[in-house]
Amino acid sequence: MKKQLIGLLVGLVFGVVGFTGTQAQAATLWETGTDLMPSTTLLHQSPDYYAQNKAILTKQYNLVGDVARFHHNQIQVYVTQSKLRPFVQTAMTTWNHALGQTVFEFGTATAHQLTVTTKPSQDWDGLITGNIIYLNSTHLQNATYVDEVANTATTRRLTADYLAQKARYNASTGHTRQVAYASATQYYQKLLTAERAAAPTYQAFWSGTMTHEFGHALGLDHTPYLSDRMYAPASSGNVSSPVAGKYTWTGPKDPADTQRQSSSLSFRDVRRAELSQLLGYW
């Protein structure tokens, strides 16, 4: 009987120690792995873990919390203009396929939780304000707008060269000014050629913009990775407020990459959306 009692007590002690160790390990999961990328282990914790660590996980993975009103992990989208519907359809299909479930679906004027419409601006391509997503009507009406949106290592280098020559031109006089003007013009033409060569199609760009805005609806904020659909050039670049995330940035962390401007998603985009669901944001 004594041996059985001792064995029971030892088992209980080691059981408690083992449980505590597991909980401690789970509590610091966000400190390991790839930057802003939820690990497989992190995505397979208990509901209590997500409830207890909701605030720190939201910050560590650049989430924004509740943005749109989902019902049982689904949201109905009403599109006010038929010309926007193809962009919305592509973005819906992209996210639904990536998440393995029907999250976004079309609604009607009288039955929906999210509206897609347009308004003019010179500052952004897409914008979400709670239950409304706007696409920029000014840019939508300009078929050549997409010719100058490419963001590659080459276009960034040529932009820097052009701006340097432009500054030289503005600061010079006489013959030097003429030389600087010719040089700036040359770099500008090279820049335009590079941008047009790398430009997305009109359909791909606006479908990608919708995919980005749907990401915000799912509770995702921006990242500094060009390879992510949720990329932004700077953490201060939000329309309403800066990214209240893991850290601030003023340039891409993958500067050799090309900005993702189609409707495709990175693995990090999808993993962050899956974590957002586990935290109850959609």
Domain positions in the chain: 75-146+200-278, 150-198
* Intervals of the chain under pLDDT 50: 1-23
For the stretch 125-144, pLDDT in tens is 999 998 999 999 999 999 99
Q: Report the alpha-carbon distance of residue 265 to residue 96 in Å, rounded.
A: 11
Architecture of the domain whose range is 75-146+200-278: 3-Layer(aba) Sandwich (3.40)
- Say how far apart CA 95 and CA 191 lie, in whole Å: 33
Please list the alpha-helical segments (H only) found in the chain.
Answer: 2-27, 47-52, 54-60, 85-99, 137-140, 153-171, 174-198, 202-217, 267-278
Tens-place pLDDT, residues 203-248? 999 999 999 999 999 999 999 999 999 999 999 977 678 999 999 9
